[in-house]
Amino acid sequence: MIGRTAGISLLLLLSSQAAWSGEPSPDTPGAHGGKTPAILTIYHAGSLSVPFANLAKAFQSLHPGVEVRRQAHGSALAIRQVTELGKRADLIGSSDYLLIDRMMLQSKPPWASWNLLFARNSICIVIGPKARKISSADWAEVLLKPGIRIGLSNGNLDPCGYRTLMTLYLAQEALGKKDVFNRLVLYNSNITLDRATSGALISIPSAVQFKDKLVLRPKETDLLALLESGVMDYLFIYRSVAAQHKLPFLELPPEINLGDPAQEPSYANVAVRTNADTEKAETIQGSAIVYGVTIPANSPRPDLAKTFVDFMQSEKGRAILRDAGQEPLPPGTYSEASQPPRATK
């Protein structure tokens, strides 16, 4: 529930998990008499690479003394850069707002006080250049054929990974795609499934392993170059990323794509437990895909970060998100765990 309302060069860029991406401003040292820019540091989900790059470029044009530096990770790993590794950041952007709630707002001590919900997305299947076309009628049958390889990101690090597991389970149970979850996931990994009257629980061990049909990488954008090179045939990924890179994809029905808030009662029939065999295990209930952003408590420039958040919610910022395939939410939409900042609108 949402809470209250108050291309190859691009593929290579996205596949670099730890490399910094910067949009140098006109006042980068050496540009205008050696002025030192104000650095705005952002850790964000891989699926936010394109929209955040475009937001950063537009923001810098309005604030020429600012240089935005970004680093893409799986969302959980992006948050842990701050909460566990002690790195300082001005903004955290997650493809699952609930991760920010649990790992930052509800931690002791809390790492943030609010969580702005700013965009939606959905899961689709990207079709590789050497793969046969698929349809809503036959995709499950095709993916189960011998020799077909499918890319999934690591659900312990990346929401797209655990959301893909939810989508496959819902396809099997809600759409009657016989054994597609069992044969794709359970037969080709050490992931397990437990059923109960309250719903299904998918457990991902900390040392998750894929074999045969499945290809594993830390985050979903790491798999794009492998798909382009023909190493694998199909990839479960966010619809926005497929659209940004003009990749052919199959739109999945709302009953399973996690993109329709009206379907949340159905999505809630499945949950995923990440790092299931450790004390850091987290259980994530199925829900519609909603992105969140926050300013960590250790932000070196919280006022500048808030200015960036305000820009994200402006008409221009919302248009940039929409152009990148991510439908923006109404400005001032916060998670239920938040204490919204007065100045952010």
Q: What is the pLDDT of residues 269-307, one digit of tens each?
A: 999 999 999 999 999 999 999 999 999 999 999 999 999
Residue range 106-148, pLDDT digits in tens: 999 999 999 999 999 999 999 999 999 999 999 999 999 999 9
Strands laid side by side in the 20-23 sheet = 4-5, 333-334, 116-120, 290-294, 91-94, 38-45, 66-73, 20-23
- Domain interval for residue 259: 123-285
Q: Are residues 65 and 165 in the same domain?
A: no
- What is the pLDDT at residue 107? 94
- What is the pLDDT at residue 83? 96
Q: Are residues 248 and 139 in the same domain?
A: yes
Residue 341 lies in a domain: no
| CATH (domain of 162) | 3.40.190.10
- Whether the pTM exceeds 0.75: the reply is yes
CA-CA distance, 296 to 44, in Å (whole number)? 13
Stated length of the chain: 345
Given CA atoms 228, 157, 93, 163 in this order, what sign does their dihedral have? Answer: positive
Total domains in the chain come to 2
Residue 345 lies in a domain: no
Would you tell me the crossing angle of helices 49-62 and 302-313 to the nearest 10 degrees?
A: 110
**If DSSP codes are grouped into helix, strand and coil, which group holds residue 304?**
helix
CA-CA distance, 325 to 311, in Å (whole number)? 18
**152 phi and psi angles, rounded to 5 deg:** -135, 145
Listed residues 269, 285, 301: the one ending a domain:
285
For residues 278 and 342, which has the higher predicted lDDT (pLDDT)? 278
Residue 217 lies in a domain: yes
Q: Are residues 275 and 299 in the same domain?
A: no
